[in-house]
Amino acid sequence: MSEGGKGSSLAFGQVVIGPPGSGKTTYCHGMREFMGRIGRKVTVVNLDPANEAMPYQCAVDIAELITLPDVMENLKLGPNGGLIYCMEYLEANFDWLQEKLAAFGGHYYLFDCPGQVELYTHHDALKNVFAQLAKWNFRLAAVHLVDSHYCTDPGKFISVLCTSLSTMLHVELPHVNVLSKMDLIEQYGKLAFNLDYYTEVLDLSYLVDHLASDPFFRNYRRLNEKLVEVIEDYSLVSFVPLNVQDKESMRQVMQAVDKANGYSFGDQEHRSLEALMSAAVGADFHFTSTLAVQEKYVQSQDKAVKEEAMDL
C-alpha cells in the first residue's frame, strides 16, 4: 500500500460513524457476517479507543496503539477530551495504521469509529485520518447511524437532521445516513407521519406545524422554521432504514453504500447474494422488514381513526 502511488491497488470500505448507542459496533458485526456470506473478504478495523467489548473478530485494533482509560488516567482528561486526544494521537501515527492495514490487501474494510459527535461535526483529527486513507487509495463511504427512536419526537428529529447535515459537510465523504434499530421502533411510540416521510425527509413544514401544537415548541416556531430552511436548502439528507436482523434491509444498506463508494462486485458475489436472499430464514436473520413496520403503523392509525369515528 504505497503512499498514493499509481501502482497501489484500490481498497474499498465504510467508515461507520454516529452518536453513542446508535448501533455502530452491532452494525459492523452484522455487516461483516452478511458480506462474509456472499463471499466478500471483510476486515473490521476498530478505531474506537473506548470500545472494549467487541462481538466481532477485530483484525486491527486501535487499543494496540492507545486506549481511552490510559489517556484519562495518565493525562487526567475526561472521556470527551480523552477521545479527542486519542484521535489526534492516531493522526500523528499514520505509519502504524498503514502497516496494520497493509496485511489485509484485497479485503473490504469496515472502520468502527468513536461515538463522539464533535469528531464528525467540527474537529479535524478523524477527518484527516479519512483523508489520509484516501491518499492510500481507499475508496470510502461514511455510514452515519442514527437511532430510529428520534423519529417519534419531532424536535429531536430536526436536531438529528441538523447533525446529519453538519456531519456530511464536515467529513467530506460519500455519505449514507441510516436509521438504525428499526426492529425496535414500535417500542418508542407512534410516528406522527408514515416512515417514508422520515427516510425521504419530505416537506418539513408539516413537522414544524406538528411541533407548534406543543406549547413549549410554539415559542420556538421561528427558530425551527429557519433550521428546516437550512436543511431543505442543502437538500442532502435522507435515510435508509435498517434492521440488522433483516436480510433484505441489510442488502439495501449494502447496495446504497456500494453505490456511494463505487464498489462493483463480480458475478460470483451476485450469485451468492441471490442465493442468500432466497434461502430459508436462518437463526441470525429474520424477515421483519421495515415495510412491515410501516404497514403496521398505517393499519394502527386507520384503526384508531375508525374507533374515534365510532365513538363520535
Taking residues 264-275, what's their average pLDDT? 81
Task: Identify the DSSP state of 213.
Answer: T
Beginning with the edge strand found earlier in the chain, give each strand of the sheet holding 239-241 in spatial order: 60-61, 42-46, 108-112, 11-17, 138-147, 175-180, 239-241
Mean pLDDT of the 236-247 span: 92
* In the predicted structure, residue 309 carries a pLDDT above the cut 90: no
- What's residue 31's pLDDT? 95
194: cell is: 408514515
pLDDT value at residue 214: 83
Query: Per-residue pLDDT tens for 176-194?
Result: 999 999 888 878 778 888 8
Confidence band, pLDDT 50/70/90 cuts, at residue 274? confident
**Dist CA 105 CA 91 (whole Å):** 21
What does pTM read for this prediction?
Answer: 0.85
Region 133-156 average pLDDT: 93
What's residue 194's pLDDT?
Answer: 87
The residues, any chain, with a CB within 8 Å of residue 166's CB and separated by 6 or more, are 120, 121, 122
At residue 135, the pLDDT reads: 95
Q: Where are the beta strands (DSSP E) in the chain?
A: 11-17, 42-46, 60-61, 108-112, 138-147, 175-180, 239-241
* Predicted pLDDT at 311: 58
